[in-house]
Structure 1
Amino acid sequence: MAIKPRWADAEAIQEAAQLLRQGRLVAFPTETVYGLGADASNAEAVAGIFAAKSRPADHPLIVHLADAAMMPGWAEEIPDMAWQLAERFWPGPLAMVLRKKASVPLAVTGGQDTVALRVPNHPVALQLLRAFGGGLAAPSANRFCRISPTQAAHVAEELGDAVAMILDGGACQVGVESTIVDLSGPQPRLLRPGQISVAALEAVLRQPLVLPEAVASEIRAPGMMAVHYAPQTVALLCPVEQLQARAQTLLADGQRLGVLAYAQTLPAHPHLQVLAMPATADGYAQALYASLRELDGWQLDRILVEQPPQTEAWRAVNDRLGKATLAVA
């Protein structure tokens, strides 16, 4: 049975902090998606995250902090560029991978010698972190590889009573997970794109980022699986020029079809559900997971996603769609 989300007032936040101190799991909102939080210094509590999500133990988690001043408690080596990025983008949707302190449980880091840190930009998350007084390991509050939650109700649907409390702070404003930059090696590397662009990061770093397509794939951070963020309904990413014909073919075969439409309009059909997506990258990102989840709940046979623009501004959206869908042959 799903527990009912509780509005995140001061009393609820204090209760949530106490539950976290007891080693329990608490879901809470960030500006990106809802996180499934546990005391990052408590390996047993962190193990509860993996059990609730059915997440492989070798997949690292992001530790959420109340402010940048807490970084030395978690990272052994903090280069100047990390402080510069923190000053520019924290609180905000940026996680940085750094060499971890020996005291950081390997359960948090997936057995690696690095740890991902971020300061979220959401009032509820920050109030909870301050009330708790430590770091919270918090991946997205959903089953492993499924659609990330951007509303408290999504967490309840996804995790049921696997959490002790769900703090409701409204809909997430960014809607896709944070940008992740690896600063643990000789060159800064982009591990996962997000709202913060490559250009904005490079302006602070004053050097180019090594991009994901330039390095071999490895699970250095969350969200690096080839399949992730996916609905249970088979979803196909469809080029703009093929959308109408592909939809007509599927409907002619008697399939119930859902479409995330970016620019195209489709004629009405009794077996067709169309959700029109925002025309801006930020607006699309904010609506993406809720829209996929809505279509997934309609018991369709297929979902078609119209390919958004393949430009730098849309890098994060296209990254998530590339992992949530299959490409149309």
Structure 2
Amino acid sequence: MSEPTMRPSEIARAARLLEAGELIGLPTETVYGLAADADNADAVRKIFAVKGRPADHPVIVHLHRDADPQRWAVGLPDAARRLIDAFWPGPLTLVLRRRSGMAVACAGGQDTIALRSPAHSMAQAVLAIFRHGEGGLAAPSANRFGRVSPTTAAHVRAELGSAVAMVLDGGACTVGIESTIVDCSQVQSGGVPRILRPGGLPAEAIATVLGCDPLLLGLQRSTQLEAPSRGALAVESANDRRARRFDISPRVPGALAAHYAPATPLFLRAAPEIDARWSTARQVGVIAVHPQPGDNASGTWFALPSDAAGFAHALYATLRELDTRGLDAIWVEMPPSDPAWDAVRDRLQRASHGSRVQGA
């Protein structure tokens, strides 16, 4: 999947707008970001205002591939350096100890900072000339807080409109869900970091680089999904429970129980139940990994790829499409329990919870 041709004049204009304190829609390989100068507190506050984002919810700072992360962070543990060498640019965010006075508005009141280098060529082109390649861009997803993240420029324009000065069109995001967040801020010599949010980079790939068992990274997969026969609210994940019990810090984006949510109520269902109820379902949209079992004139069925990466790539765009159909409910086939589906399962559980919270 190729990216649209870059126009140098558009890249230069985007950098000028950012340096002037404006917001732009920025394509990355994960989702589109709502970007602002991370060093400009007023510009970062605009992000929070436009999104309706809580002030204590930190945002990720995006860097050029050649930028020195130690301009923003105090020291780099060996584990962080190895992960940077292996996966930057790419869908990996590292949480590190923040250098005093740097990107204070991005930190949500914490002494840590979340850094990543996006793999999208347009994002890298902007970062290469923004503040001569040494600046950082705060860029949470370009949508209202808690809603489905955008994966095309059209999604950004439709949701945020004139609130952004410019939207760079980088085509559809290749990954389609947010980055994996790894906490390196508390790693001791020879220690192993923790995964705080599953995402576009699998835990197994991280563990391979670090030479450890993936379970040591601390990502606790929830073994309980929403009970398909009851349609109850999605249960909080094991990470949520662990954080609530032990007040785990640092706080990171996308960790709230209700997040990534469409306006239409979303329910996780087992495939046999969806198939059994499909013929009589009314005003229901379905996302599954298999074809619809029969006709239904009042329903909408999307069969997504059966591999985790392909499903993730199409998920947000499909949720957004179904949200425009005036449906009464969205049913999503429960994903497999194996580790490759961790990030998809995480997003769907939070989306299910969030869609019902909004409609309550």
TM-score category by the smaller chain? over 0.9
By how many angstroms is 1:262 displaced? 1.3
Give a deviation string over 1:15-35, Cα, whole Å, max 9, x none. 010000010001110000000
Q: Structure 1 residues 247 and 128, CA, compared in 2 at 3 Å: closer, same or farther? A: same
1:222 — aligned with what? 253
Letter in 1 for 2:276: A
1:201 — aligned with what? 206
Return the match for 1:75 from 56, 67, 73. Answer: 73
**SS of corresponding position for 2:217:** coil
Asked if 1:169 corresponds to 2:200, the answer is no
Segments of structure 2 that go 5 or more residues without pairing to the other structure are 221-237, 355-360
Asked if 1:130 corresponds to 2:140, the answer is no
Return the match for 1:241 from 265, 269, 272. Answer: 272
Give a deviation string over 1:56-115, Cα, whole Å, max 9, x none. 111000000002542011001311111110000011000000000112233201111100
Return the match for 2:111 from 101, 110, 113. Answer: 113
**SS of corresponding position for 2:68:** helix
Once residues 68 and 182 of structure 1 are traced to their aligned partners in structure 2, the CA distance between those partners, rounded to angstroms, is 21
By how many angstroms is 1:216 displaced? 1.7
- Listed as ranges, the matches of 1:19-98 within 5 Å are 19-67=17-65, 69-98=67-96
Segments of structure 1 that go 5 or more residues without pairing to the other structure are 1-5
Q: Structure 1 residues 307 and 228, CA, compared in 2 at 3 Å: closer, same or farther? A: same
Give a deviation string over 1:107-144, Cα, whole Å, max 9, x none. 20111110000000010000011110310000000010
Higher mean displacement: 218-227 or 110-119: 218-227
Assess if the C-alpha contact under 8 Å between 1:77 and 1:100 holds in 2: no
Runs of 4+ in 1 over 4 A off after TM superposition: none
Return the match for 2:218 from 210, 228, 237. Answer: 210
Assess if the C-alpha contact under 8 Å between 1:65 and 1:135 holds in 2: yes
Give a deviation string over 1:207-258, Cα, whole Å, max 9, x none. 3212253632457111101011111000111112221234456x2xxx3111
2:99 — aligned with what? 101
| Structure number having the greater strand percentage | 1
Return the match for 2:328 from 301, 311, 321. Answer: 301
What's the TM-score once normalised by structure 1's chain length? 0.93
Higher mean displacement: 186-195 or 277-286: 186-195
Once residues 154 and 46 of structure 1 are traced to their aligned partners in structure 2, the CA distance between those partners, rounded to angstroms, is 21
Once residues 41 and 335 of structure 2 are traced to their aligned partners in structure 1, the CA distance between those partners, rounded to angstroms, is 41
What's the TM-score once normalised by structure 2's chain length? 0.85
* Identity in percent: 52
Once residues 117 and 349 of structure 2 are traced to their aligned partners in structure 1, the CA distance between those partners, rounded to angstroms, is 27
Letter in 2 for 1:72: Q
Letter in 2 for 1:303: I
Assess if the C-alpha contact under 8 Å between 2:268 and 2:332 holds in 1: yes
Assess if the C-alpha contact under 8 Å between 2:278 and 2:296 holds in 1: no
Higher mean displacement: 144-153 or 238-247: 238-247
Return the match for 2:13 from 12, 15, 21. Answer: 15
Q: How large is the RMSD of aligned CA atoms in angstroms?
A: 1.7
